[in-house]
Structure 1
Amino acid sequence: MRKTLRLTTITAAALLALAPVTTLEAQQPQPRVLKMQSTWPASLTLQDNFRFFAERVEKLTGGTLKVEVNAAGQIVPPFEILDATSKKVIDGGHGIAYYWVGKSKAATLFSNTPAGIVGMDHMDYLGWIYEGGGLQLWWDFYQKELKLNVIAFPILPASPQALGWFKRPIKTLEDFKGMKCRQTGIVAEIYQKMGQATVNMPGGEIVPSAQRGVIDCAEWVGGIEDLRLGLPQVWKYHYTPGMHESASIGELIINSEVWASLNPQHQEAIRSAVMETFVRWWVKWQRQNADAIEEMQTKHGTEILRTPPEILIAFLKTWDQIAAEESAKNPFFKKVYESQKAYAAKVIPAKRFMFPPYSFAANYYFPEKK
């Protein structure tokens, strides 16, 4: 009897000791999960940017906020993520604003394309976003101009991008004219005005089209992505740089109601993760591109050539013409463009004065082979 009583007492004490733990576990809130989708296939390095962001959000919030990362097409078609985010079909997306030029040409200004918007590099553009009023204009663009429940942050510096791949050498603007080339968005409009015949097609169709002779040239991304796509296996001549995406920047979009429902700590974690992702992914990507260029040359015999300057100048002049025409008929485009030009007019001349040309030390330590 005493033994039974003692066991009962011990069991009761053990249960009492466990009770607070069990109650505490029951009180722990379930992590909140944001369902998001990108416009990229899962295999692209651009999707790695999205994955890194999700990892950082989870770590910064101690697992209380998670991002479900989906690739293009897993929930909605890739070019429907903006509307899907606004309608809360998904909580957010990962893409680039120039995909939405069909809604308004002002969209391209929020991807820092083309021409780096009057020459701004990545840091200049981030400066305009965070120090020059650009972020509020971006949110106004989605919410007031397009009437969408969306906010955005800059996250993906997938640039500079090469001019492209060509089946034959190009030495002048005349060589460039008449070629049938894969281009997209507002860049295609610019190249059309420059005399190129452009074709819009998904990345997966570029190599088969090149092999069949349907196109003479193509722009994809450059570096690691061009190598993975197989472009060095179909064309030999690779020209760089290009001004079409000299400093393009992709976006993270979030439904504005979802954003407002997050607590301040979760909002700050997202802001921090966005900035960290921008920098950490970018430095890794630069190394990946350097390795890819080396492989193109040594394994595939790719000729990496300088873009003729007259092509780059013609591109800038054509873009200036389009921007002026759009400013004349689109007040919001003009407002954003004028804001960007005013910021650039302060920063770019100062940087040109303070910063040595990148090629100065590069040519001293690593002379180009003749």
Structure 2
Amino acid sequence: MTDLSKRKFLRSAGIGAAGVAAATTLATPALSQNKVQMRFVTTFPKMFPGLGTSARRLTDRINLATDGRVEVKLYDRGALVPGGVGVFDAVAAGNADMYYSSEYYHPSKSQAYNIYGAVPFGMTTPEVYAWLQYGGGQELWDELHAGFNMKPFAGPSTGVQMGGWFNKPIKSLDDMRGVKFRMPGIGGEVLRSVGVAVVNLPGSEVFAALQSGAIDGAEWVGPWHDLAFGFHKVVKHYHWPGFHEPGNIGSYGINLDFWKTVSDADKQIITGLMEAECHVQTAEYNGASPPALDKLLTEHGVQLHQYPDEVLLELAKASRDVMENLAAGDEMTGRVWESYKAFRKQSMVWSKLGIQGFLNAREMTEEALKG
């Protein structure tokens, strides 16, 4: 067809140069030769053990399981989106298609997101997953995320965290007042309310801050990562339990416009693989923490300290007040908190009889049968 013939064809079809440009612009960029390209961003460096390797594993499995129909490109922290917490805005705006993060990094969007990260004295990992799937938590999360043009999915969990490292044992609440301590999220607000000088630092800066004396203590995740970060080289007093994050779960967020371009079959594959990753990475933390803890205690002279009951009681009172004030701030946060709180109350009855009852029996019989 000659250039003249082409121009006549376009005019007869009612399409000018501007129309051709518009049609090209409106074509879905994620679609190419019946393939969907997914830009996957994460809060965590992709070489970081656990949190980072999880995103890489999920990427590889989606690419393989969809036989290339969904082509996932995982961007390292900061490569496509500046910093780590900007992944939420990037996916909401369509500048990326999917993120892996933790919802408590996004309280500026809604305080309700704190509840989908970790709640002090809240639910354990199995209880949180149960609330999401069978207690109404997912439906509320869907509603919350839809306001940002995204669909949320539960991510893996790091499990119950430790209570943190201090340069001296904590024997009373007075020992904590004025202490410069690193803790983010609602847990940090709780400590601040009882007089702790809370400092927010990214994990990569914690060791240097402890070493220089800029902070007196810190929490990070648990034995696996704490050992890798070398906190034991600076401080020796390791406290438990981690009241602030009993069941911290990660989160995936997928742009709704992008999600519509994925076939129903591949939606099921991707969803199933995310659910599988919840099991795999959670098991990885439970598998790596016991030997790491043993190494801290037997090879590095770390001393374990259980928080006194009176300290835990005061922290629990402060946690209740912080959460109730948070829930009173807006209608959506209040609804999520009421749902979470009701499910926690029910779960505590069964967990006490089932899980805690068995653990108590196991510990008692183990001690009795020693020797």
Q: Secondary structure at the match of 1:35?
A: strand
The letter of the residue matching 1:131 is Y
In 1, the alpha carbon distance for the partners of 2:287 and 2:228 equals 15
| Cα distance, 1:207–1:329 mapped onto 2, change above 3 Å | closer
Is residue 36–residue 261 contact of structure 2 (8 Å, CA) maintained in 1?
A: no
Q: Secondary structure at the match of 1:130?
A: helix
In 1, the alpha carbon distance for the partners of 2:77 and 2:367 equals 40
Q: Secondary structure at the match of 1:154?
A: strand
The letter of the residue matching 2:187 is V
Q: 1:171-216, CA deviations, whole angstroms, 9 ceiling, x for partnerless residues?
A: 1111111111112132221111011001111112111111111111
Q: 1:219-274, CA deviations, whole angstroms, 9 ceiling, x for partnerless residues?
A: 11111111111111111111111111111111011111111221111111111111
Is residue 62–residue 70 contact of structure 2 (8 Å, CA) maintained in 1?
A: yes
Is residue 210–residue 234 contact of structure 1 (8 Å, CA) maintained in 2?
A: yes
Q: TM-score, normalised by structure 2?
A: 0.85
In 1, the alpha carbon distance for the partners of 2:351 and 2:95 equals 43
Q: Judging by fraction of residues, say which structure has more helix.
A: 1
The letter of the residue matching 1:33 is Q
Match of 2:361 in 1: 360
Match of 2:288 in 1: 288
Match of 1:74 in 2: 79
Following TM superposition, by how much is the alpha carbon of 1:29 offset from its aligned partner in structure 2, in angstroms?
5.0
Following TM superposition, by how much is the alpha carbon of 1:38 offset from its aligned partner in structure 2, in angstroms?
0.9
Q: Is 1:136 equivalent to 2:139 in the alignment? A: yes
Equivalent residue runs for 1:276-315 within 5 Å: 276-315=276-315
| Cα distance, 1:30–1:296 mapped onto 2, change above 3 Å | farther
Among residues 121, 126, 129, which one is paired with 2:129 in the alignment? 126
The letter of the residue matching 2:110 is S
Equivalent residue runs for 1:46-61 within 5 Å: 46-61=51-66
Equivalent residue runs for 1:1-370 within 5 Å: 31-41=35-45, 42-76=47-81, 77-116=83-122, 120-144=123-147, 148-355=148-355, 356-365=357-366
In 2, the alpha carbon distance for the partners of 1:257 and 1:30 equals 17
| Cα distance, 1:234–1:75 mapped onto 2, change above 3 Å | same
Is residue 39–residue 95 contact of structure 1 (8 Å, CA) maintained in 2?
A: yes
Following TM superposition, by how much is the alpha carbon of 1:366 offset from its aligned partner in structure 2, in angstroms?
6.4
Q: TM-score, normalised by structure 1?
A: 0.85
Report the count of equivalent residues: 335
C-alpha RMSD of the superposition:
2.0
Which structure 2 segments of 5+ residues have no match? Answer: 1-31
The letter of the residue matching 1:58 is N
In 2, the alpha carbon distance for the partners of 1:132 and 1:354 equals 19
The letter of the residue matching 2:85 is F
Following TM superposition, by how much is the alpha carbon of 1:338 offset from its aligned partner in structure 2, in angstroms?
0.9
In 1, the alpha carbon distance for the partners of 2:290 and 2:71 equals 33
| Cα distance, 1:62–1:310 mapped onto 2, change above 3 Å | farther
Q: Secondary structure at the match of 1:36?
A: strand
Match of 1:25 in 2: none
In 1, the alpha carbon distance for the partners of 2:175 and 2:303 equals 17
Identify the range of structure 1 (335-344 vs 305-314) with the bigger mean alpha-carbon deviation. 305-314
Is residue 115–residue 247 contact of structure 1 (8 Å, CA) maintained in 2?
A: no
Identity of aligned residues (%): 27
Q: 1:103-147, CA deviations, whole angstroms, 9 ceiling, x for partnerless residues?
A: 32211111242322xxx2212211111112211211211223xxx
Which structure 1 segments of 5+ residues have no match? Answer: 1-27
Is residue 36–residue 91 contact of structure 1 (8 Å, CA) maintained in 2?
A: yes
